[in-house]
Chains A and B, each alone.
Chain A
Amino acid sequence: MIIAERKPIEEIKTFVMGRKRVLVVGCRGCVTVCNAGGTKEVGILASLLRLEAAKDGEGTVVDELTLERQCDPEYIEELSELMGGRYDCVLSMACSIGPQFISRRYPGESVFPALNTCFLGGALAHGIWAEHCQACGNCVIHKFGGLCPISRCSKSLLNGPCGGSAGGKCEVSKDIDCVWHLIVEKIESEGRMGEFLGIELVKDWRPSRDGGPRKIVREELLK
């Protein structure tokens, strides 16, 4: 899923400064699962903004709403009755797709992202998420013991590990596992080192972002 986290309240305050009517919009997709922008987090942010406004003697009204998803026009449409001058500002608590979809559908509205969209990952434990995919568009993890060197090696090496791998950790930080260390261990444990010694050739980055912004068209789904 997409992992996100809320922007610092100081930054969000600069978005709402001078605006009297604020709508905070959450999303029940990925950001609910990673505890960044679901109903609960919408409530917390709205309360914080009300408190800050009260502290500053501002009579700001902060309303709350959580949509099923913000990456789908069908659900963005649910905002239509609320848009058109009722709010001075919309704070989207979805990944960055949400505020973009809201802005496009409602061009007259001031829309701000309340989250930083961080990476594609999963939960290692409650409260810990880690990047596992870079959406490079051509999955190769089967060649690396089911582990992704593109997203999980700091240098995206296809023929690692580099000389900075020490004690299973990446040279960048002791908090980062060297994925190449894990790959080598996995291949060894499978007894496949012999077949692992070929050179993994250069990657074609076109299916990744390097080919320009990507789009998928599924003809069979078009009406």
Chain B
Amino acid sequence: MTKTLKSASKLEKVLASGAFAVTGELGPPRNAKAKEVEDKAKFLLGNVDSVNVTDNQTAVVRMSSLAASLIAQKQGLEANMQMVCRDRNRIAMQSDILGAAALGINNLLILSGDHQTFGDHPDAKNVYDLDSINLIRALRNMRDEGRLMSGQEIPEDARPRLFIGAAYNPFADPQDYRVLRAKKKVDAGVDFMQSQCIYDMDRFRKFMAKAVDMGLTEKAYFLAGVTPLKSLGMARYMKNNVPGITMPDSYIERLKGVPKERQASEGIRMACEQIDEFKETKGVSGVHLMLVEWEHMVPTIVKEASLLPRPQV
């Protein structure tokens, strides 16, 4: 992998240094209170290299990703601003990318976005002018070729120097096609990839072995997604209700064997065991910790998984 830095991102520097990266996640509030972002940011500061700031996740209206990213950055974090294709057309997306880069955002994670029928505005019209792969390509061209989608030139010193991220999901279907779709994202110009929550380690290992074989991990950094289970109920819910997540019965059985009050700590322990394996897995460059509405446990998990101190770059 070329170590010439493509962006102004601290996350890119960490990954390029060969260190095992740690990213976190922060969901903006459903109101205009900056303090809620600041309070969550406190748990992440010093514990992660960059924090994903979600873009109206699960199609629920929240403070904008850009605004919450800036609030988080004021607290000293580096934001990884998420952008979904559901709510904006190509005009708005390019505009927001230019604005985000101008305001000091260094990472942008591009997603298709959960369909609006899941959220609090199921009656909304969606956009999907571009899909995630075409948005990755558009951003890469803006940054590296200095062209907007229209062909309009962006001067050399005015290009959005963003580190480009995308998601990969080894657990969705059709199973064999998932790595090929990841390849398409790499070909489109993605720099780093974060996965959906991993529980089915066997399926993940197979996916990653294929990605390594295809040379994808030489062209982009792959981070493994981790969401510790808070309880047996959460494990069951995710098994039955969340599309694109597979939950092996062994997880359910293990939590069943633990009294309710100790299930959360058992969930953290299980996540740490996963992280230990990811550190040794060929092709995995770091972990993406998704402790949504459980941000206060981030310090515990990074400590227990021996991910501290975070490298200074």
Q: Which residue numbers of A lie inside 8 Å of B, CB to CB?
A: 154-168, 171-173, 178, 181, 184-185, 193, 197, 199, 201-202, 205
In the complex, chain A residues whose CB is within 8 Å of the CB of B128: 155-157
**Could you tell me if B188 and A199 are in contact, using CB atoms closer than 8 angstroms?**
yes
Q: How far is the CB of A19 from chain B (nearest CB, A)?
A: 31
Is B172 a contact of A163 with CB atoms below 8 Å?
yes
Q: Tally the A-B contacts, defined by beta carbons under 8 Å.
A: 91
CB <8 Å contact, B184 and A163: no
**B117 interface contact, C-beta 8 A:** yes
Q: Which A residues are in CB contact (< 8 Å) with B181?
A: 159-161
User: Known contacts A163-B167, A164-B115, A205-B129: does B177 contact A184 (CB below 8 Å)?
Assistant: yes
B113, B117, B131, B167: the one within 8 Å of A172 (CB): B117
Q: How far is the CA of A205 from the CA of B138 in the complex (A)?
A: 17
Are the CB atoms of A159 and B173 closer together than 8 Å? no
**Interface residue B134 (Cβ < 8 Å from any Cβ of A):** yes
Complex interface: chain A residues within 8 A of B243 (CB): 163-166, 171
Does chain A have a CB within 8 A of B169?
A: yes
The answer to whether A181 touches B169 (Cβ under 8 A) is no
B114 proximity list for chain A (CB < 8 A): 164, 171
Contact between A199 and B173, CB atoms less than 8 A apart: no
Decide: A199 near B133, CB < 8 A? Known: A155-B126, A163-B196, A193-B180: yes
CB < 8 Å neighbour of A160 from B131, B167, B196: B131
Q: How far is the CA of A9 from the CA of B174 in the complex (A)?
A: 43
**What are 18 of the A-B contact pairs (CB < 8 Å)?**
A158-B131, A159-B184, A160-B131, A161-B174, A161-B177, A164-B172, A164-B243, A165-B172, A165-B243, A166-B244, A167-B173, A173-B117, A185-B174, A197-B180, A197-B187, A199-B184, A201-B134, A202-B138
Contact partners of A202 in chain B: CB under 8 A? 90, 129-130, 134, 138, 149
Closest 9 interchain pairs by CB?
Answer: A163-B169, A159-B133, A171-B243, A164-B243, A162-B112, A157-B131, A163-B244, A163-B172, A202-B134
